[in-house]
Structure 1
Amino acid sequence: MTGSMDQGASANPGSPAPERSRSEHAGPEPAGIPPKLSVVITCWNYSQYVDRAIRSVQSQHREDCELLVVDDGSTDGSWEVIGSTGARALRVDNGGQRKACLHGLHHTLSPFVLFLDADDELLPGSLEAIIANLDDSVAKLQFPLKRMDGDGNIISGPVPELDAFRGRQLVRRVLQTGVYTTPPTSGNVFRRDVCHLLEGAEYDKAVDGVILFAAPFMGDVVSLSQPLGLYRVHDRNDSGLGTELNSQSLRRDLRRFVDRMGHLRQIVETYGFAGELVVPEQAYFYLERRFYLAVAEGERISVQSLLRLLTVLWREYYPARTKAVITAFFLMTSMLPKERARRGLAYRLDAGKRSPLGLLQALI
């Protein structure tokens, strides 16, 4: 591993001027204590959930945490619900999550930012645990989330299960695979300069992309093992979790991964890692999604492509037992009739509670 990595937070004087908001809820006057953390909640037509997201932050009464809600042109009454909470809020024309988050970024001041989805929530005491682990050398902090259904019922334990650590050990993993185990958007806190990388991610409407994988090159990653938030699984998740098997979503994942890797390559080269980042089409994530797409569209799985996928899988950082289970799934899925293979894959990609028995029943 070569090159050096900048540890300190930095301002971005070249950032574009913030977009004008169409309307604003003023919210409470800022406290005299400089905020250490900004929670930016972005909302698009989540009137049934956004109140809970906002109050999960407000109820923790942290004067060193500023809260800003950005309504991304909702048409379902979300803006009125947001106003009833008394939170400081801005309303902009609909432009997608990334643009809404950047709008919030430009209207907050703290050195660290948590982008909380409007259908998710933070758990009591989470802000205290987060802020206690932040300093200038931290580029990203992550923590698991518990899954809940549309009615707020908890349906899983901590996801993903994370080891507690601090450091830059993820650099090598990103270079070799392009990814690492990371929570959804609401389980991550980023230093402000890392967030500014979103300005160059025009290919993406979401924010759980390049900044996740660039962060290890820009400072320490702090990983906490205790769950500090709740991730809601329902039929409107942008990831497609909780919905029927969707080949369009899988194609989008593939395009997004290739575009993100091109952006990431530009970033890591500035830190002295030119040529060390894996080619996207050779990465396990790409090959896995390509396998899923073939199953979803009823394509025949060639022996050559299956062997290539399994070879790359066994170079991954997963435990041997996990690799063995995944290998069995790939082999079984590739041999089953198309409809049964699709059922098994849909079960595997479902964000709800899963088990080996449930997978077997789905395949049969």
Structure 2
Amino acid sequence: MTGSTPRLAVIINCFNYAEYVERAIRSVLAQGRDDCELIVVDDGSTDASWDVIGRTGVTAHRTENGGQRRACIFGLDRTTAPFVLFLDADDELAPGALDVIIPRLDPSVAKLQFCLSRIDRDGNRLGSAVPEPDQIRMTSDLSERVRRTGVYVSPPTSGNVFRRDLCELLRDADYDDAVDGIIVLAAPFFGEVVSLPQELGLYRVHDRNISGVGRAIDGARIEQHMQRFRNLIGHLNRVMPAGSARPQLDAEQTFFYLEKKSVLASIDRRMDRFRQLPMLIRVISGDYFSAKRKLALSLFHILIAFLPVGISRRLIEFRYRSEQRTPIALAKALIGNGSDVRPRSL
């Protein structure tokens, strides 16, 4: 795809996405950029993905199945581009996306992020973008936001472009199979984070998303997220740029960790769901959320702590399963069908 030294590499990693991967590939080819390099890695697919990739005529690589992170590192080793976009095989770039993205890349940029249009399995639009444009514009002092909350507004994997040196952190992230962990969290500490409000990609929501969007809420998965977050913060503390006077981050004092703990306790009533609630509310009341967001988050966590477990679970699923976030879905979450108000085994 490139006839000159590439400024950007788009790496598509695919595992059993035969029904989507061709659309992902062609969405990159259609950009028509000579300064962009396309690298496709099939991560040992057992469906027809490799045959579908072959039909596109692009140079592709096939590896033994090792997970998303390993496949992306394999692709990274096959490019010298200074910036990398990891495009999930079930997502797509919007027409003209790279014409907007590439001119904004320079050595001071650690990460460029943009909004994604949410679509369903068949490509139909699903409500608002992720993140919403007003949310992605809130980029002041992101490193301090990470320190206090453990998170900042960031799109799914396909909505990010990373500077190459940041991608190198993936090599030591053996605790994580995903690619959008340490490099997302570390970006504000390594340079500028450029946020574009335009919808420059398509994010497909279905029950096989690596991010877990669309899946049912599960206690064991929440515990895995909490352990992963502790590992991420430990990794970030180890790689903090030299000369940083900032103290080490404490994973268990952040909003992200406390919120996951609140959700877990609300669906597993063997835990004390009230113990960490005051601390969580104090963190929410800090300077890093809007007044509307503070009210919504506080109300949500108070409700799931006090309501019967069946209703609490439905409220949690309403919040985290974004394709169902409509007024009708909220009413159903609160009312239900009357059959699961009593606690259910997990």
TM-score (norm 1): 0.87
Residue 178 of structure 1 corresponds to 150
Q: What are the ranges of 5 or more consecutive residues in structure 2 without an aligned counterpart?
A: 336-346
Q: CA shift at 1:245, angstroms?
A: 1.4
Task: Tell me if 1:222 matches 2:199.
Answer: no
The 1:312/1:165 distance shift into structure 2, 3 A limit, reads closer
Q: 2:253 aligns with which of 282, 289, 314?
A: 282
1:257-297 CA distance string (max 9 Å, x none): 0000000011126342352x431011010010111112232
Quote the Cα distance in structure 1 between the aligned partners of 2:90 and 2:207.
12
Distance 1:125 1:166, change over 3 A: farther
Matched, 1:235 2:207: yes
Report the 3-state secondary structure (helix = DSSP H, G, I; strand = E; otherwise coil) of the residue aligned with 2:9. Answer: strand
Does 1 or 2 have the higher relative contact order (CA < 8 Å, sep 6+)? 1
Greater Cα shift, 315-324 or 139-148: 315-324
Contact 2:151 2:185 in 1 (8 A): yes
* Greater displacement, 281-290 / 158-167: 158-167
Is 1:208 aligned to residue 180 of structure 2? yes
- Deviation for aligned residue 1:353: 4.2
> 1:166·1:221 contact (CA, 8 Å) conserved in 2?
no
Alignment counterpart, residue 238 of structure 2, candidates 246, 261, 266: 266
Q: Deviations over 1:200-226 (max 9, x none)?
A: 111100011111121122221111011
Q: Which residue of 1 aligns with 2:41?
A: 70
Aligned residue in 1 for 2:339:
none
Pairing of 1:151-166 with structure 2 (within 5 A): 151-162=122-133
The separation in 1 between residues aligned to 2:246 and 2:52, in whole angstroms, is 48
Structure 1 residue matching 2:95: 3-state secondary structure:
coil
Partner of 1:17: none
Q: Is 1:90–2:90 an aligned residue pair?
A: no
TM-superposed CA distance for 1:31, in Å, is: 3.7
TM superposition shift of 1:181: 0.8
Q: Deviations over 1:118-158 (max 9, x none)?
A: 00111001011010101111111000111111111110222
Which residue does 2:166 correspond to in 1?
Answer: 194
RMSD between aligned residues: 1.8
**Matched residue, 1:115:** 86
Q: Give the C-alpha shift of residue 159 in structure 1.
A: 1.0
Residue 342 of structure 1, aligned match among 313, 337, 346: 313
Change in 2 beyond 3 A, CA 1:353/1:265: same
Q: 2 CA distance for matches of 1:255 and 1:96?
A: 18
Contact 1:178 1:283 in 2 (8 A): yes
Deviation at 1:193, TM superposition (A): 0.6
1:254 aligns with 226
Task: Tell me if the contact between 1:156 and 1:353 (Cα under 8 Å) persists in the aligned partners.
Answer: no
CA distance in 2, matches of 1:167, 1:32: 35
- Alignment of 1:298 with 2:280, yes or no, is no
CA contact (8 A) 1:254 1:286 kept: yes
Between the two proteins, the alignment pairs up a number of residues equal to 334
The amino acid of 2:238's aligned partner reads: Q
Change (3 A) 1:208 1:316: farther
Secondary structure at 1:63 match in 2: coil
Partner of 1:136: 107
> What is the identity percentage for the equivalent residue pairs of Structure 1 and Structure 2?
50
Alignment deviations for residues 279-330 of structure 1 (CA, whole Å, 9 cap, x no partner): 1011010010111112232345543321111111111512111110121111
Residue 238 of structure 1: how far off its partner (Å): 2.0
Aligned to 2:17: 46
Separation in structure 2 between the aligned mates of residue 168 and residue 320 of structure 1, nearest angstrom: 17
Unpaired segments ≥5 residues, structure 1: 1-29
Shift of 1:338: 1.1
Amino acid in structure 2 at the alignment position of 1:177: T
Q: Counterpart amino acid of 2:165? A: D
